[in-house]
Amino acid sequence: MEARGLVKQYGRITAVDHVDVTVNAGDVYGFLGPNGAGKTTTLRMMLGLIYPTGGSVRVFGRDPITEGAAALEGVAGFVEAPRFYPYLSARKNLEMMASYDGNGARDRVEAVLDTVEMTARADDKVGGYSHGMRQRLGIAGALLRDPKLLILDEPATGLDPGGMRDMRALIRRLADDGMTVLLSSHLLAEVEELCDRVAIVRAGRIVYEGAISDLKATAETAYRVRTNDNTRALEICAAQAGVSAVRADGLEIRMEANEPAMAELSVALVHANLKIHALVPETATLEDLFFHLTEGSTPGEISAPVIDQLAAGGAA
């Protein structure tokens, strides 16, 4: 799936502002951002549910905006909450959906109930279901279409911890079975656990796009270091490229650096025959970075140049 320069304007509000996203086959792709960032609006355009003000979408090379439902073969999912007839059972709801879908969907009803672990409750009315069960049934409904790309809008939001764990396990299983997944979330931990690539969106704009591991590597973190000779270590730290804010603090030396700079520093210390007793990163860097990227605040350990660099990389 490729989105290029996607824009959605609601009057004076620009809900989505020139979004570029590429989801490759096999990705578990996270679309991460706080409430109101434009995630649902973007996914709606990708599913051909609303017209973009500008830009284009290609799904398996086809255009859901001009070609409509026919372009969405191989794609399934839901935005916000899946909808069902509350007075019918899960099985009955799925059978009805399957009869609209055709393409052998009817024969998949039992299998998808099993996949989302709902077989035991399949004859109960959906009206009595918990939020977590409805979300799982929503995924079952999407799986009826036997999709290659599954689009899920905040599937775990509002679930209790057990429901979240089950939802993550389900998405993990689908991904392990080879399904490409695009999922939106406002929860960093969820995206970190499930996804290999992310787009971080803030006020309709992508502020970072790429691998989570790269994002982590770029983040500046505060470190504490303790060696057998801190006086010499202090000089080496201060002289090391990419290491800043170096100062002695009791038995430790404190500094800020990103991961590659820290790796170089550890080598320099050892070359100087110093023994490293401890080298401790101070903060949950990704969380900090996420707040910086999405709220634009300044406290914390991340320097403005790093954010500019990431934003530039994300826009490229």
Cβ 134 to ligand ADP, closest distance in Å? 18
Among residues 19, 72, 67, which one has the least CA distance to residue 41?
Answer: 19
- Secondary structure in 3-state letters for 173-219: HHHHCCCEEEEEECCHHHHHHHCCEEEEEECCEEEEEEEHHHHHHHC
Phi, psi of 215 (to 5 degrees): -60, -45
Select from ligand ADP, Mg ion, none the partner in contact with residue 171, using the beta carbon and a kind-dependent cut-off of 5 to 8 Å: none
DSSP 8-class letter at 21? E
Residue nearest to Mg ion (CB): 40
DSSP 8-class letter at 47? T
Cβ 198 to ligand ADP, closest distance in Å? 14
Window contacting ligand ADP (CB under 6 A); options: 8-16, 262-270, 281-289, 307-315: 8-16
Strand partners, 279: 225
Token couple for 158: 């509002």
Window contacting Mg ion (CB under 5 A); options: 31-39, 120-128, 241-249, 270-278: 31-39
Q: By CB under 6 A, tell whether 52 contacts ligand ADP.
A: no
Q: Cα separation of 75 and 264, whole Å?
A: 46
CA end-to-end distance (rounded Å), the chain: 18
Q: By CB under 6 A, tell whether 38 contacts ligand ADP.
A: yes
Q: By CB under 6 A, tell whether 30 contacts ligand ADP.
A: no
Q: By CB under 5 A, tell whether 258 contacts Mg ion.
A: no
**CA atoms in the 13 A half-sphere facing the CB of 300:** 23
**Site for ligand ADP (CB under 6 A): which residue of 1, 3, 6, 15?**
15
Q: By CB under 6 A, tell whether 37 contacts ligand ADP.
A: yes
**Site for Mg ion (CB under 5 A): which residue of 40, 180, 185, 258?**
40
Q: By CB under 6 A, tell whether 10 contacts ligand ADP.
A: yes
Cβ 190 to ligand ADP, closest distance in Å? 14
Where does this chain bind Mg ion (CB under 5 A)?
Answer: 39-40
Where does this chain bind ligand ADP (CB under 6 A)?
Answer: 10, 13, 15, 33, 35-41
